[in-house]
Amino acid sequence: MGVTETGTRARYPDSSGHAVANDGVRIYYEVFGDGPVTILFMPANPISHSRLWKGQVHYLARHFRVVVYDGRGNGLSDDADLAVGLPTSARVGDCLAVMDATGTKAAYIVGICVDGVFPSMCLAAEHPDRVLGVVAISPGLPLVTPRNPNRQEPEWVKHMADDFVRVHYAEFLEFFFGQMFPEPHSTKQVDDAAAYGLDTTPGQLLMQEPLNVETREEVEAICHQVKCPVLIIQGDRDNCQPIERSRILEAATGGRYELLPGSGHIPNARHPVRVNTLISRFAGLAPYVQRKTDHPRAIMVSSPIGLGHAWRDVAIARELRRQVPGLEVEWLAQPPLTTLLAAAGEKVHPASAELAPEAKHVDAEQGEHRLHAFNMIRRMDEILCANFMVFHDVVSSEHFDVWIADEGWEIDHFLHENPELKTSPYVWMSDFVGFLPMPSGGQREAFLTADYNGEVLDHVAQHPEIRDVSIFIGDPEDVVRESFGPGLPFVPEWTASHFQFSGYVLPFDPRDVADTAALRRELGYDPSRPLIVAGAGGSAVGAHLLHRIAAAFGILRRDVPDAEMVLVSGPRIDPAEFAPVEGMRVVGYLHEGFKTLACCDLAVVQGGLSTTMELVANRRPFIYIPLRDHFEQNWHVANRLRRYGAPPPTDYDDATPERLAAQMRERLGAKVTYEPVTPGGAERAAKLIARLLQRERRLQPVR
């Protein structure tokens, strides 16, 4: 079998290979990290493989050595013998084979349900020198109690189980995992688990598995033999394993029992932050001791998906330091933002090197001038979890007087999911509110975006104390006049009651760049020649558009031979891949690119908010081509630009080099009639944040 990937991994293995079991079956394993203590995860096969533990790997591998493997008949391991199920003794043998192949003398063993927990108990009882401790998640101890009365089955399972499951396997998996994730807003976890289940066959799943035990007394006797520490984790909404089984395991082993309120059967997937913390402490990671300083400190998390976020955040940080003298701002950021921040003189926290790469995930999700932004963020869940854990490590070990997240989705989501982790004032900033479905996604996407919006609204309603200040980067008129989804509030009304509006934040004062001739001389451009600027954002998704723009410029030069163009490829696209065009200069990164935009005669750009709003503020003519299926560019940005009187967007399908050249010729140097962008957005946003700092430090506000 292969492995179905549902998103870019947060971390790829340092090594991988196949262990060979006693009967010659090859068991695929992966090893992450090089810590002095090993944590080994048992597979929940045959219904799932090692990717079920994706929420744990990145975090724990930063502190420990982590080993995962696929069980027989699933993932990248060999198929099991369809004639007979896998006895518990074979599961123990497979685990020992993996330990031997990876040079693991002893490890903490983590298992879930019957397929992971009972073999862990047998392993600890029979080979105590190989097991440092056992983490038993939703423990399935066979024979000790009746089945869980909360577990439901549809009529087709009761009456035609095997035959129906074989024919309608995907439907069975969706139903089963819907039961296993009873928590609201668990669509992503259900989708993932069902996809992992499809990496095996119904025949593997339906095999009767011999247990090597026949009575409750035999099971309890094995548990009594376990002398290593045991941690039991179970949700109080577990529809698979009865709570009584955890109590029996607790009594038999003297283990520590953690009952998770509101959690279902698979908390490692649905509540990874809580489970990660429990495992790491159990395996010996010492609690953090927070380091405090005499001067005020702020930590800034800025989304790396667009460089415009960072420029506006730099403007806010600079204004914040003016309003709060002595303030130190540190950034938790990753490339390409770190290049910009270094050039701007900002301080990047060393822990930033531990962040999982979001930009690579964006690149992996792209098509030809296409980025399905909602799906991209939804499939980035593993990376977002990993990066929240990095953030949590930082703020647990160091004191910051305020946490600021500019569309730091992971910070906002996991703080609301784990409100007890908030220990400082928290600021949420965004330039849009509401995920909106694209028509191409049909009813399924409409359902998913509404579910995601519903989760955010529930989070804010249930824990209003998490966001001390919510700042909308814009004005009330910039909010889309849409609903969050069926039965959900109207976006403008909800936003008005939950956000404060800063107005748009520019990284410059338009008055400082108003003299275009002087600015061109400063930047080395000829004031007498028409200047065109082309750019497509900080990801690699803009490559196809830039090639079209370059071809269009070659056509334009026939009519405007003295025109010159600066094509900014961005940090993720190699400038060398563009064929030379007379009058065109290709640059990878243009620091303070807003200055070049401010003095151009025309800009041809993607539909990103920051670039287009800078052009509006400086009253420059431009053409913008939104990414296909990008809900923010096609809904939120387009709505805001209409409000300011900007030209309508150009569809990528219509932007052939010939048509684009004609449009460039038409708009080159054209007069514009945009509505003015009110200055002072950075000052207003900083003032809202400064109040929190002044309250925390008992500082007097700067007049």
Q: State yes or no: pLDDT of 19 exceeds 90.
A: yes
Q: How far apart are CA 182 and CA 82, in angstroms?
A: 32
* 649-677 pLDDT tens trace: 999 999 999 999 999 999 998 999 999 99
Burial class (CB in 10 A: 0-12, 13-18, 19+), 152: exposed
Q: What is the pLDDT of residue 83?
A: 52
Q: Would you identify the CATH topology of the domain 297-505+683-697?
A: Rossmann fold (3.40.50)
Binned at pLDDT 50, 70 and 90, residue 156 comes out as very low
Q: Which of 306, 313, 351 is nearest to 329 (CA)?
A: 313
Written as one string, the DSSP assignment of 208-223 is ----S--SHHHHHHHH
Binned at pLDDT 50, 70 and 90, residue 160 comes out as very low
- Return the domain boundaries, the chain: 15-282, 297-505+683-697, 510-667
Question: Which residue type does 199 have?
Answer: D
| 302: Cα within 13 Å, side-chain hemisphere | 29
Q: What is the pLDDT of residue 168?
A: 82
* 234-277 pLDDT tens trace: 999 999 999 999 999 999 999 999 999 999 999 999 999 999 99
Q: Which of 608, 613, 561, 617 is nearest to 584 (CA)?
A: 561
Q: What percent of the chain has pLDDT over 90?
A: 77
Beta-strand pair 500-501/65-69: unpaired
H or E stretch including 635?
none
Q: At what angle do helices 307-323 and 681-697 cross, to 10 degrees?
A: 50
* 467-510 pLDDT tens trace: 999 999 999 999 999 999 999 999 999 999 999 999 999 999 88
Q: What percent of the chain has pLDDT over 70?
A: 94
Q: How far apart are CA 692 and CA 698, in angstroms?
A: 10
* 282-308 pLDDT tens trace: 999 998 888 778 889 999 998 877 777
The residue written with tokens 């540190």 in the block is: 330
Q: What is the pLDDT of residue 151?
A: 62
Q: What is the pLDDT of residue 143?
A: 77
Q: State yes or no: pLDDT of 139 exceeds 80.
A: yes
* Radius of gyration, CA atoms only, the chain: 28
By residue count, the chain amounts to 703
Q: What is the pLDDT of residue 162?
A: 61
Q: How far apart are CA 263 and CA 268, in angstroms?
A: 10
Q: State yes or no: pLDDT of 690 exceeds 70.
A: yes
First to last CA, the chain: 67
Question: CA 426: distance to chain centroid?
Answer: 19
Q: What is the pLDDT of residue 85?
A: 64
Indicate the SS3 state at residue 132: strand
Query: In CATH terms, is domain 15-282 a member of 3.40.50.970?
Result: no
Give per-residue burial for 91-100: e unless 16+ CB within 10 Å, then b.
bbbbbbbbbe
Beta-strand pair 426-430/531-535: unpaired
Question: CA 348: distance to chain centroid?
Answer: 20
Q: State yes or no: pLDDT of 153 exceeds 50.
A: yes
Binned at pLDDT 50, 70 and 90, residue 391 comes out as very high
Binned at pLDDT 50, 70 and 90, residue 574 comes out as confident
- Top pLDDT among 2 and 690 is at 690
Binned at pLDDT 50, 70 and 90, residue 579 comes out as very high
Binned at pLDDT 50, 70 and 90, residue 324 comes out as very high
Q: Tell me the mean pLDDT in the region 31-43.
A: 97
Q: What is the pLDDT of residue 209?
A: 63
* 56-109 pLDDT tens trace: 999 999 999 999 999 988 899 998 765 556 778 889 999 999 999 999 999 999
Binned at pLDDT 50, 70 and 90, residue 319 comes out as very high
Q: State yes or no: pLDDT of 159 exceeds 80.
A: no
H or E stretch including 73?
none
Share the mean pLDDT of the chain. Answer: 92
Q: Tell me the mean pLDDT in the region 170-197.
A: 94
Burial class (CB in 10 A: 0-12, 13-18, 19+), 327: buried
Q: Check if 15-282 and 510-667 are the same fold.
A: yes
Query: In CATH terms, is domain 510-667 a member of 3.40.50.2000?
Result: yes
Q: State yes or no: pLDDT of 618 exceeds 80.
A: yes
The token pair at 364 is: 């992996």
